[in-house]
Structure 1
Amino acid sequence: MIPDTVMFSIDTFIRPHLLSLKPYSSARDEFEGEASVYLDANENNLGSLAGGTDYNRYPDPYQKEIKQKLSKLKGVRPEQIFIGNGSDEAIDLLIRLVCAPGQDEVLLLPPTYGMYEVSANIHNVGIQRVPLDERFQPVFDKIAEKQTEKTKILFLCSPNNPTGNILEPETVEKLIREFKGLVVVDEAYIDFTETPSWSTRLDEFPNLVVLQTLSKAWGMAGLRLGMAFASPEIISYLNKIKPPYNINAVTQELVSAALDKTAQLHDMLQVIVQERERLVQVFAELPLIQKVYPSDANFVLVQVPDANELYAYLLERGVVVRNRTTQPGCFNCLRITIGTPKENDHLLESLQVYSEQKSVV
């Protein structure tokens, strides 16, 4: 059961052998200044066959330039930021940090992002599940009933994947306040909504970890850069157990430049949100679509009479969507990403043709 009040110290949750772990000390850890000759890291001083600038040198292991820019953009301190190879790395490290294999558990609220379960399984960590309700919202009492002393992490996805909705802030706050363990709020799609990020409240909640990514709104899925925001204590432990050079030099270079383009980000977000509203409106008028779920993300979940059949039909017309019919609460549902206006036109045309064919039959 979740207690009425929680006094949280990350040190009491860390796997004991990690408390005294001495991390690998890289050459860039031991010397961070400027020199004319670097002979400390066994790099190839003749240069790089990949070209570019300094690609023969190891990258900054702590991505300081990016963290400075993110600090201003997100309103958090640099020491509250962990940068990973996608947010999937942060998920993996958090489980590794506090969950003993074959002993501890994580708590998931399906339908939700699949990597929480995959990472738990990789580390032989148990999984408890409390399905979201019919509105795809968490049920506090049922979650409270599931927690035991073995439950170390609660994963919340908001906006949720694959449903697209924001989890009700009142329930999320109650869970953060009263859950005895880490509460991880995954905000991969937060840029597509006006709802404030939980990262603005890190100083209130020492057990809170907020995940975000540059893969969605920023359009950098191929560069693989995700973020975890948390207390400096939690971040220091993540830095302690991560690989020394987990973000490559090319990604750091391109991401740093992209973070200066907030005006272009705003323009892209505006187009995506407008297209989302257009699709939702048309979907609601198509007899083929039985239900359109509210979305604060860059996709829309819809329910249709036969998801498998419609998925196959769209494939024939060159349109790939995500069939989520096997997910809890998502029977006969398709998850449709917001494309370009031209791509969305092709999708709508295909749906209209399919709908007409079914009505004739």
Structure 2
Amino acid sequence: MHAIILAAENGSQNDQFPNKPRCMLRIDGKPVIEHTLDALSEAGITKCIIVTGDNKEAIISLLGAAYKNTHIEYVSNDSPSPAGSMYSLFLVKDYLAQDDTILLDGSVIFEHALIADLISCPGKTAAAVAPWESWMDGTAVVLSEDNEISGFIQRVYRNSVKKEIFKSVNIYKFSKEFSADVYIPFLEAYIRTMDGDDDTEQVLRIIGLVDKFHINAFLLNHYVWREIRGTQDRDIAEILFARTSSEKLRLIFQHQGGLWRFPELLDFCYLTNPYFPTREMKEEIKAHFDMLLKDYPSGQAVQTRLGAELFGVSETNIILGNGTVELIKALSRVLGGTIGIIRPTYNEYSENLSKNGYITLRDWVPENFTYTTRDIEKFSGGYDALVLINPDNPSGHYIPRDGLVKLAAYHKKRQKKLIVDESFVDFTDTEKQPSLITQEILDEFPNLIVLRSLGKSYGITGLRLGLLASGDLDILAEVRGYIPKWNINSFGEYFLQCIGRYKKYYRQSCAWIAAERARFKTELEKTALLTVYPSQANFFLCRINGSANTKEFSEYLLQEHNILINGLDGRPGIPEDKFFRLAVRGKSDNDRFCEAVSAYKNKK
């Protein structure tokens, strides 16, 4: 048995590497084609034919005549358009007829064990296929009850799937009999009548229409693989094939989100509401998808009215932002003096405020992550404004609204501003009306500025919606000066427009979070591995007991259970490398986390 690698294709002009062979892109420190040859060598393949295009000098210079135990021969595809694999395959048809063949697309990277397992799988002829996922496009296949390929579907696009289909991964095992008697005759006929600028599966699709053939499906249910068709695929492959868990974590957090690219990953790091929006609300937004995608959103004035209606305050007292980060940045540009920060805290405040040369930060680290309004009053002498997150992030510590109202009065009397971030306040279960965003409170305390992330509580983090409310009309006018007119997209605007019809379900979702939070805390404490701090948010601050640290624990969870957490190592106010913030998700996800914790404890 030998192997054939189709490697004539360069990156497109839209890629970051337009003139570089896709097979030469480096993943985990070496080119994709070396990863492929490693897998072939480990599977005992001693001969490989590589079809090159105008990139042949680079590939030959890299590999030479042999790679480890594998002898290499080169065939050059010098056609004006070598991108289609059909003509490349035509050039090596004689090799197909000589011996059984492992046929591979040079731009696919995969786990090394895949080749050996493909060779030993049932059937002399087989194709590697993967369950269809939303990010995929290209050629798909349909399987029979006997696990054979019963048909090819050309040009399937993302999210257009209406039945169970599988992605063709462009890795095949062809017997020489199949190649000589079936595939090559059809390939030759196709090349005579067409231009050859098509993919390998096109001939297989035609064969299936006019002849009976048997190709077993080799299912990649548990193999990691990625087809490198662009810069994004390369970035994802770097994460999937990172050599160490530490490097994988680093690369994931370097993305700062976008975890929908990794549907197999269970994320306990980023915060949202798993119970909202409801299915009905999502269906309503989907029904308007085309309109919202193509039409411009309204300007800031309309968005402000929608936000004011949601919270029952005057539109003169409110600003909508593209997430709270946009509002924090704008606010940092109009504040001055000394700002009090209670550590540990949400990094966006300290990072943005510290960039303003007119602001001096004064830190306070309360003992055991808890504090009272009296403690804050003792701290108040050294600042002009205090930033208070309530419930606090990452501790989940909470001060009831009455206490905050008294604190606002205390600061007002001393001509100090109180900036309260209440992004998680709807998850509290200690009082029915915890929010400070009421007309009465804003009017009474113009020194009060309230910020709120809607994404974290309403489960719409992808829409990027935040809010700032205050009775200080002058400071609101200054902040508005730094906010673009069209800062909210049409999807965010429509959410604000229709949320009123779903308020009852939103309140129920917050109650479910609170109930699940209590149950989850009990289950976590049963493991005896974690100290779980009381929380009124949709997350916990946790400390790892014993000798383990967060680096070791987070790497274990990612490597063994595909679970993502983020340690708080190095965060100001965190005393040691044993702390992490843990999101409260739905029951099944939370139970899976508890099982992973127990497995880690038993391993130790």
Which range, TM-score by smaller chain? 0.7 to 0.9
- Select which of 77, 81, 85 maps to 2:314: 77
The answer (yes or no) to whether the contact 1:193–1:297 under 8 Å persists in 2 is yes
Give secondary structure in 1 for the equivalent of 2:494.
helix
Give secondary structure in 2 for the equivalent of 1:334.
strand
Q: Partners of 1:355 and 1:156 in 2: how far apart?
A: 36
Is 1:134 equivalent to 2:368 in the alignment? yes
Q: Partners of 2:292 and 2:392 in 1: how far apart?
A: 40
**Alignment deviations for residues 30-55 of structure 1 (CA, whole Å, 9 cap, x no partner):** xxxxxxxxxxxxxxxxxxxx952594
Which is strand-richer, 1 or 2?
Answer: 2
**Alignment deviations for residues 148-168 of structure 1 (CA, whole Å, 9 cap, x no partner):** xxx3x3110000000011136
Deviation at 1:105, TM superposition (A): 3.1
Q: Partners of 2:532 and 2:485 in 1: how far apart?
A: 45
1:107 counterpart residue number: 340
Q: Partners of 1:182 and 1:232 in 2: how far apart?
A: 10
Q: Partners of 2:528 and 2:335 in 1: how far apart?
A: 49
Is 1:247 equivalent to 2:469 in the alignment? no
1:7 counterpart residue number: none
- Point out where structure 1 has 5 or more consecutive residues left out of the alignment: 1-49
- One-letter amino acid matched to 1:166: Y
The answer (yes or no) to whether the contact 1:217–1:265 under 8 Å persists in 2 is no
User: Are the structure 2 counterparts of residues 53 and 141 from structure 1 closer, same or farther at C-alpha, using a change threshold of 3 Å?
Assistant: closer
Is 1:189 equivalent to 2:424 in the alignment? yes
Q: TM-score, normalised by structure 2?
A: 0.46
2:553 counterpart residue number: 310
- One-letter amino acid matched to 1:85: N
Deviation at 1:71, TM superposition (A): 3.6
Higher RCO (C-alpha 8 Å, min separation 6): 1
- Select which of 428, 437, 442 maps to 1:199: 437
**Alignment deviations for residues 286-320 of structure 1 (CA, whole Å, 9 cap, x no partner):** 2212x211111111111113222222211121111
The answer (yes or no) to whether the contact 1:307–1:325 under 8 Å persists in 2 is yes
Q: Partners of 2:593 and 2:297 in 1: how far apart?
A: 45
User: Are the structure 2 counterparts of residues 51 and 275 from structure 1 closer, same or farther at C-alpha, using a change threshold of 3 Å?
Assistant: closer
What is the Cα-based RMSD across aligned positions, in Å? 2.4
The answer (yes or no) to whether the contact 1:130–1:142 under 8 Å persists in 2 is no
1:354 counterpart residue number: 600
- One-letter amino acid matched to 2:540: V
Q: Partners of 2:562 and 2:291 in 1: how far apart?
A: 37
Q: Partners of 2:408 and 2:461 in 1: how far apart?
A: 29
Deviation at 1:190, TM superposition (A): 0.7
- Select which of 222, 235, 248 maps to 2:476: 235
Deviation at 1:342, TM superposition (A): 1.9
Give secondary structure in 1 for the equivalent of 2:542.
strand
The answer (yes or no) to whether the contact 2:567–2:579 under 8 Å persists in 1 is yes
Q: TM-score, normalised by structure 1?
A: 0.75
User: Are the structure 2 counterparts of residues 58 and 288 from structure 1 closer, same or farther at C-alpha, using a change threshold of 3 Å?
Assistant: closer
Deviation at 1:281, TM superposition (A): 0.6
Deviation at 1:178, TM superposition (A): 3.3
The answer (yes or no) to whether the contact 2:297–2:493 under 8 Å persists in 1 is no
- Point out where structure 2 has 5 or more consecutive residues left out of the alignment: 1-288
The answer (yes or no) to whether the contact 1:137–1:168 under 8 Å persists in 2 is no
The answer (yes or no) to whether the contact 1:324–1:330 under 8 Å persists in 2 is no
User: Are the structure 2 counterparts of residues 188 and 330 from structure 1 closer, same or farther at C-alpha, using a change threshold of 3 Å?
Assistant: farther
User: Are the structure 2 counterparts of residues 244 and 73 from structure 1 closer, same or farther at C-alpha, using a change threshold of 3 Å?
Assistant: closer
The answer (yes or no) to whether the contact 1:82–1:228 under 8 Å persists in 2 is yes
1:178 counterpart residue number: 410
1:52 counterpart residue number: 291
Q: Which has the larger radius of gyration?
A: 2
Deviation at 1:141, TM superposition (A): 4.6
User: Are the structure 2 counterparts of residues 170 and 218 from structure 1 closer, same or farther at C-alpha, using a change threshold of 3 Å?
Assistant: closer
**Alignment deviations for residues 103-160 of structure 1 (CA, whole Å, 9 cap, x no partner):** x33221101111001111333332211222324225235422322xxx3x31100000
1:322 counterpart residue number: 566
The answer (yes or no) to whether the contact 1:87–1:226 under 8 Å persists in 2 is yes
**Alignment deviations for residues 214-233 of structure 1 (CA, whole Å, 9 cap, x no partner):** 11121111111101111161
**Alignment deviations for residues 170-206 of structure 1 (CA, whole Å, 9 cap, x no partner):** 6644542233332110001011014411223222211
Please give the residue correspondences for 1:1-361 in structure 2 after superposition, counting only pairs within 5 Å.
Answer: 52=291, 55=294, 57=296, 59-64=298-303, 67-68=305-306, 70-99=307-336, 104-124=337-357, 125-137=359-371, 139-147=375-383, 151=384, 153-167=385-399, 172-179=404-411, 180-194=415-429, 195=431, 196-200=434-438, 201-231=441-471, 233=473, 234-289=475-530, 291-305=531-545, 306-316=549-559, 317-327=561-571, 328-329=573-574, 331=576, 332-358=578-604
- One-letter amino acid matched to 1:197: S
